[in-house]
Amino acid sequence: MKNTLIAAAMATTALTGTALAEEVTIQLKWVTQAQFAGYYVALENGYYDDEGLEVTVLPGGPDIAPTQVIAGGGADVIVEWMPAALAARENGLPLVNIAQPYKSSGMMLTCWKDAGIETPDDLDNRTLGVWFFGNEYPFLSWMSHLGYATDGKAEGSVEVLKQGFNVDPLLQRQADCISTMTYNEYGQVLDAGVAPEELVTFKYQDQGVATMEDGLYVLEDSLSDPAFVAKMEKFVRASMAGWKWAEENPEEAAMIVLDYDETGAQTEAHQIRMMGEVAKLTAGSNGALDPADYQRTVATLLAGGSDPVITMEPTGAYTLDITDAALK
């Protein structure tokens, strides 16, 4: 297995001209899996080495908040969802999006069809499983769009079940619907023996309230350092090479991810399926954030009713300078 916790690029003594390789630490949003295949492919295929970078990839987990890691100096760049990043920015942590490998959202709500749910109007007075740790923001915005309070089961309101990172609340009928990602938990529901025709899914992308996921973020102050900016240009260029290779070679990319999974928890079948779904979300992105996607995310978050995710239009929350230089 690959050791991603220390010296992941295995280039400690690599030379770039007369200088030692530049170090970059990236904190992932979740555990080692095909959701982050582009970074592991860039490691394995030597794309970071080619740029003179020594990259350490830090897996995430349920007790790891990327925003806290970068705030504490534990990473140079993090993978984060835009709602959480913008909320953190408004609360004093000046995160800036420097690249957006994911073009589309994979988030959806998966419901039991036999509960009588066919459209979003049928979500009223239901129990809905929701992830927290920043993942709740798109859901809360969507509920506000629908006009539902989140105070508990009642007419015009829903009960929010704080969902763990599994599908048990749906399987055990503790919730009518749960949060799932197209590339992960939805497949877990199917693996549990549930047929697709027993389910109804609502993709945030289809509901018009999709927000950007899995972008790359750095601290704003870091961007005043030309050396750091140049390093991020190299990192983004190599990372996007990894992502495009993963899109074109999904099975091989999944096997690379498995090599870097130190826990042994991932399976070949699950990672291959995940990579196939992830490739649909990164397709169409060259790594540069589309300002229209950014504006849609901001508009969705601002339309949060009495408890919006953000309360004002952000300024300086993204830059195209790094991708413009890296991808030209």
- Report residue 2's pLDDT band, with 50, 70 and 90 as the boundaries: low
Residues 254-280 have pLDDT tens digits of 999 999 999 998 999 999 999 999 999
Residue whose structure tokens are 């953190």: 88
**Beta 53-58 vs 177-181: how paired, if at all?**
unpaired
Mean per-residue pLDDT of the chain: 92
CA dihedral 181, 60, 237, 102 (to 10 degrees): 10
Under 8 Å between Cβ of 299 and 142: no
Residues 281-301 have pLDDT tens digits of 999 999 999 999 999 999 888
- Report residue 11's pLDDT band, with 50, 70 and 90 as the boundaries: very low
Under 8 Å between Cβ of 251 and 272: yes
Angle between helices 226-248 and 250-260 (to 10 degrees): 120
| Per-residue pLDDT, 293 | 95
- 133 or 315, which is more confident? 315
Residues 101-111 have pLDDT tens digits of 999 999 999 99
- Report residue 144's pLDDT band, with 50, 70 and 90 as the boundaries: confident
Domains assigned to the chain: 15-104+212-327 (3.40.190.10), 107-207 (3.40.190.10)
What is the DSSP track for 100-128? B---S--EEEEEEGGGT--SGGGGTT-EE
- Report residue 303's pLDDT band, with 50, 70 and 90 as the boundaries: confident
Residues 45-84 have pLDDT tens digits of 999 999 999 999 999 998 899 999 999 999 999 999 999 9
With a CB cutoff of 8 Å and minimum separation 6, the contacts of 265 are 31
Counting beta carbons within 10 angstroms of the beta carbon of residue 10, is it exposed (0 to 12), middle (13 to 18) or buried (19 or more)? Answer: middle
pLDDT at 10 over 50: no
Token pair for 314: 């952000």
| Per-residue pLDDT, 6 | 39
Q: 123-127, 129-133, 184-188, 202-206: which has the minimum mean pLDDT?
A: 129-133
User: Whose CA is closest to 105, among 81, 141, 128, 132?
Assistant: 81
| Per-residue pLDDT, 304 | 65
User: Whose CA is closest to 128, among 187, 182, 166, 169?
Assistant: 169
Rounded to the nearest 5 percent, the helix, strand and coil shares of the chain are 40, 20, 40
pLDDT at 328 over 60: yes
Under 8 Å between Cβ of 158 and 124: yes
Residues 85-100 have pLDDT tens digits of 999 999 999 999 999 9
Q: Which residues are 224's β-sheet partners?
A: none
| Per-residue pLDDT, 14 | 42
pLDDT at 12 over 60: no
Q: Please give the Cα distance from 327 to 324 (Å, whole number).
A: 6
Could you tell me the pTM of the whole model? Answer: 0.89
Residues shown for the chain = 328
pLDDT above 70 as % of the chain: 92
| Per-residue pLDDT, 134 | 67
Q: Please give the Cα distance from 67 to 84 (Å, whole number).
A: 8
